[in-house]
Chains A and B, each alone.
Chain A
Amino acid sequence: MKLKKRVSVTTVFAFVVLGVVILMALFPQLFTSYDPTTPDYESVLKGPSAAHWLGTDEVGRDIMCRLIYGTRNTMMVGLGSSLLAALIGIPLGLIAGYFGGLLDNVIMRILDAFLSFPAMLLAILVITIFGNSVPSLILTIATVNFPRFSRVVRSNVLSLKDREFVEANRAFGAKNSYILFRTLLPNCVSAITVQFSLLTAVAILVEAGLSFIGLGIQPPDPAWGSMLQYSQNYLSQASWYMIAPTVMIFLVVLAVNFFGDFLRDLFDPMKQR
């Protein structure tokens, strides 16, 4: 793939936001001098000020600091679970769609079973088995989300596999693995990236939901989803509290989405003029 085309505004936005977020996740101490977990009962639920740019939370911790330190957990859960879901879901979808028949039926019915479980119930189950930690949160949310990848990929494969170039591939002696991963998969990329950015947002919110019942990132460790969850309790006294995590989730989801568009354009020769 050649990178010789004009870079769009959305691509720049995506790279800037994701770059900053990655820096925040890797080196949070560069961005703030506060400690994210030490309470300060002198300044509880204070509005934005010179000392605390985004105000303080219910035990007087700096919200900006918690936002920055929460990036790592949030991104690990959000991106990690989507990556894992993609890693499991995409091959299943490819196989189900391409081979069809009984295999397709078996795979898709099992995935339907996964989808028919309420996400929370499934999450509680996984966390009960594997304990409460970031990896098990990733696993939990991936378990909830991977059938969605399979479905999208399968439906794409179903329409692609009877296209003549797939038939031509076989007529030129290509192996099934080649057709699956080199012919069909690249043609599914745009659908996959859209799904990926949507599910990343969902994952961040599922983590918030899990925090609500005490199964998410455990306090006092910060995460955007749980911050959003707690801020609801103080909506009338400290309305600024919820804005910061909301905006961050929004920006990241948007950036992942734009990054998906960038990837799609990179793979789409129609746009390479």
Chain B
Amino acid sequence: MKRIGLKYCGGCNPSYDRVEYVRAIQEAAGDRVAWVTLDEGGFSTLLLVSGCDKQCVEMAEYEDRGCRIIRIKDSCSAPSEILSHLLEGDT
């Protein structure tokens, strides 16, 4: 099971339902992924969920550490597509 960090922006005025969309990704992932918070740590891939084009959350600290960050700013892609990006490189 792959550990993936999950971080949301604050959601001040999102253009789509972030929680519902992430739920669909999680459902597609099933037990292939263990979703963890930033505080829990122990991940090298991070799903960063923004509610709009502004994508205001800064993740420089994690990028500097070599963490791979997959960013979402809308619900245009199929959840399975986001999942395959997240699982990229896994065998």
A, B in one complex: no
**B interface with A by C-beta (< 8 Å):** none
